[in-house]
Amino acid sequence: MGYHSSDSWHAYFQDFAYTNQGRTRMANINIADLPAKTFAELICSPVMDVYVGEGRRHWCLHRDLLGYHTPFFQGQSHIDGKQKFGKIELLEEDPHAFELLVKWLYQGKIDDVSDLPMEKKWDYADACQKLYVLCDKIKMPQLKNIAIDQFRKGCHEAGLVPGPEEMKPIYDTTPPRSPIRKLVSQIAARQIMDPDSENDAGTYRICFEASADFAIDVIDAIRQGSRPRLFQDPTEETGCFYHEHGASQVCKVG
């Protein structure tokens, strides 16, 4: 439980005697808007092997293009004053989410869930949820914001929301006060409070047991969402609401 830093990721490097010309600056211009010459220079750089997921799905990606987008990859390609390239293993990440990242790296965009057929909307939304977590780890805020918007839109258009099995990993891998924590805790709170929903607090037991933050966030969301209504003061109620006996038994107290 808790935020997993990039220190838990494995990277392997080989020295190919490239002269260090300084780190590539982090992206401040969308890759699609770069001058052709600059883009061509980025994709003329050596490639790094990236392995993603338990199945070790393999990508060969240009080192300088990776470094252009995020300081995480800049740090992976420079050691001891020399440029290096080798392989990176992201074995805990989802390959479908990484597919979206690769599209963004080279094209500066990802697909809009509204353009997908209904039967693919939820799977795409789920991939965007995992993409958000990945971008949070590797410091790509612009794509992270796009991912959460596509996740929300995909949920809405598919008429589905994540269950506790999808919510728990979010709290396991993102820091406190993360916007996606706020989003999923509000989803859970709404499901609990919705009289037409089959979900109740027990539905989210695995999340409550795994994360005190989840419990606090859901309670805060319910408190905020239920204003200005306030339920009856339980200390003023009369009768045997809090006694231990069957509903049909005659209460012998009082």
* CB burial of residue 236 (10 Å; 0-12, 13-18, 19+): exposed
Predicted local confidence at residue 241, as pLDDT: 74
Predicted local confidence at residue 76, as pLDDT: 55
28 pLDDT band, cuts 50/70/90, is low
The rounded distance, in Å, linking the Cα atoms of 30 and 253 is 73
37 pLDDT band, cuts 50/70/90, is very high
18 pLDDT band, cuts 50/70/90, is very low
What pTM, to 2 d.p., does this model score? 0.79
Predicted local confidence at residue 248, as pLDDT: 79
What does the DSSP assignment read for 140-200?
Answer: -HHHHHHHHHHHHHHHHHHT----HHHHHHHHHHS-TT-HHHHHHHHHHHHHHH-TT-S--
Which region among 120-124, 138-142, 180-184, 243-247 has the lowest average model confidence (pLDDT)? 243-247
**Where are the alpha helices (H) located in 36-117, listed in sequence order?**
36-42, 63-69, 71-76, 95-107
What does the domain layout of the chain look like in residue ranges? 7-92, 164-231
77 pLDDT band, cuts 50/70/90, is very low
Q: Is the pLDDT of residue 15 over 90?
A: no
